[in-house]
Amino acid sequence: MSLETVPKAIAGPSSFIDDRIGAGNFLKRNLRKVFPDHWSFLLGEIALYSFVILLLTGTFLTFWFKPGMAEVAYDGSYAPLVGVHMSEAYASALHISFEVRGGLLIRQIHHWAALLFVAGMMVHMLRVFFTGAYRKPRELNWLIGVLLLTLALLEGLTGYSLPDDLLSGAGLRITQGVILSLPLVGTYLQFLLFGGEYPGEDIIARFYSIHILLIPGLLLALISAHLILMWVQKHTQMPGKGRTESNVVGAPFYPSFMLKSGAYFLFTFGVLALLGTFAQINPIWLFGPYSPADISAGSQPDFYMGFLEGSLRLMPSWEINFLGYTLPMSVLIPALLPLGLIMTGLALYPFVERWVTGDNSEHHLCDRPRNNPHRTAIGIASITFYGLLWLLGANDWISAKFHISLYQTTIFGRFAIFLGPALAYWITYRICLGLQRNDQAVLSHGVESGVIKRLPHGEYIEVHVPPADDIAAHVRGKKEIPAIAAGPDGDGVPPKAMRTPLGRLRAKMSRAYAADTESISLDEAHNGHHDGHHDGNGHHAPAEVGAGDRKSIGH
């Protein structure tokens, strides 16, 4: 069947719909849309399918959950809490867990899906960042992704607080403290959310409305926009044989990609069902109801809020008192600075990179992370920054389990949060350059064949052969990073815009950003035939392997 032939499974339904609403041509064109076949492009679908499962399980839970803070005496089936006074929200969460058929399973699937949703978005964004898939014309889709991640964190925070158990109440107390630390508006926002002095009587009901209506609606709209833009702009693809900036090599949406996606959805759901069945998460009946007078040791938030917990624990007790006002820097800085650095950095990076490189061309082929060492190093440094904050959010557990002073772990964290990202940047940068040189060697000298050959003067060598065509094409997909020229001819008088201090800084940054990819050029690699002899650098140049070459050391 040729590419121009429309399969019967598409032609039939398309004709039926076209005869009635005139959308047949639209379906024929879009159902044959080509998607690249690479495992990393399925990472974003993990987040998408987790979101669908969240909507389904969340709808089930709304039938029995009561978002009220009125006090009731528990009279359910969990004996240790019978007669204990608690909020309606906590009592209904216990009712779902113990009395509703399948309630605990759905609760746990919902919680695991929430974790997988955020984790899937993070991994997907890392794939997009490290491959440069955010570049023109996809900057808008990148910004939508950053906004989606921010909303997902807020959605997780509001959902985490709804059961009103002791663990979620402790997190809510921290949230209230962060809100109060905001200058000028903090007190007003706290009264708006809590309906009065902490803990108030309205916070659960208001978080419930935000959690099931406002944020899911925004997420659904943004995810739809994200998918529509991706569909219109076509998918990026990894470099390889036959792949260019103007085509897409892969399989059609129907039936190939649709079947693959359907199987992947079922696989994702199966994993979450297994986790919900066999891996207990958030056993609220063990924590007890929340009371402002109670607190628990060793409490930890879900992983996506762990980095904010770590920043609060590492921050010294600084505050500013001025004209009768107190600005608690020990809360304000850790609450806003890490999240602000990460999210603002993500949002601005495509535009900063374009400004530095002067690159305004469209990009539909992805970069291999090694081929842009500065970008990859920046990404790994950011991950290290996030990871250290996340790790130090459990400094009390680290101290208790490893018998290390809590003071020492805190001091270590305060130094590591600055030194760790810098060290990670340098190590990653050097690794990327080493991998580029390895690619250069593969093209220049070939790959080991496992065939041993004896040279006329008695030396034994291993014959190198040229790499396979698909591997060579993948490696040769590297492109030089654009850099701003010093002048019209590359070394003339700089243009007027580049003579200002900002212009000179931009030129220096541009040269530094692109310098090493120019020095390690794959254009210099060659595939000459030298019959297995040494080249000028002491390597064995690639050679064709014939029957007469298959001599071993033992012969």
Nearest CA among 372, 471, 399, 448 for reference residue 135: 372
Q: Which residue has the higher pLDDT, 2 or 249?
A: 249
Tokens of 245: 């900036």
Q: CA–CA separation, 494 vs 506, rounded Å?
A: 12
- The per-residue pLDDT for 504 is 84
Element (H, E) at 326: strand 325-327
Could you tell me the residue ranges of all domains in the chain? 31-236+251-294, 434-552
Alpha helices in 99-239 (DSSP H): 103-131, 139-161, 166-181, 186-194, 203-209, 215-233
Q: How confident is the model at residue 35 (pLDDT cuts 50, 70, 90)?
A: confident
Least confident of 101-115, 240-254, 538-552: 538-552
Cβ atoms of 165 and 295 closer than 8 Å: no
Running DSSP on this structure, what letter comes out for residue 464? E
Residue among 405, 390, 344 nearest 150 (CA):
344
Which residues 6+ apart lie within 8 Å of 389 measured at CB? 306, 307, 308, 310, 311, 314, 338, 417
- Residue 9 is predicted with a pLDDT of 65
Tell me which DSSP letter residue 238 carries: -
The CATH H-level (homologous superfamily) assignment of domain 31-236+251-294 is Cytochrome Bc1 Complex; Chain C (1.20.810.10)
Mean pLDDT throughout 14-19?
A: 70
Q: Determine the length of the chain.
A: 555
> Which one, of 22, 3, 24, lies nearest residue 13 by Cα?
24
Q: Encode burial over 72-92: b for 16+ CB neighbours within 10 A, e otherwise.
A: bebeeeeeebeeeebbbbbbb
Contacts of 271 (CB under 8 A, 6+ apart): none
Structure tokens at 221: 């709209």
> What percentage of the chain has pLDDT greater than the value 70?
87
Q: Say if residue 10's pLDDT is above 60.
A: yes
The whole-chain average pLDDT of the chain stands at 86
pLDDT of residue 23: 65
Residue 455 in this model has a pLDDT that exceeds 70: yes
Kindly tell me the sign of the dihedral angle through the C-alpha atoms of 251, 253, 259, 263.
positive
Widest CA span in the chain: 94
The mean per-residue pLDDT over the stretch 113-138 comes to: 95
Higher pLDDT, 462 or 80: 80
Which residues, other chains included, contact 266 with Cβ-Cβ below 8 Å and sequence gap of 6+?
none
- Upper half-sphere CA count for residue 32 (Cβ side, 13 Å): 17
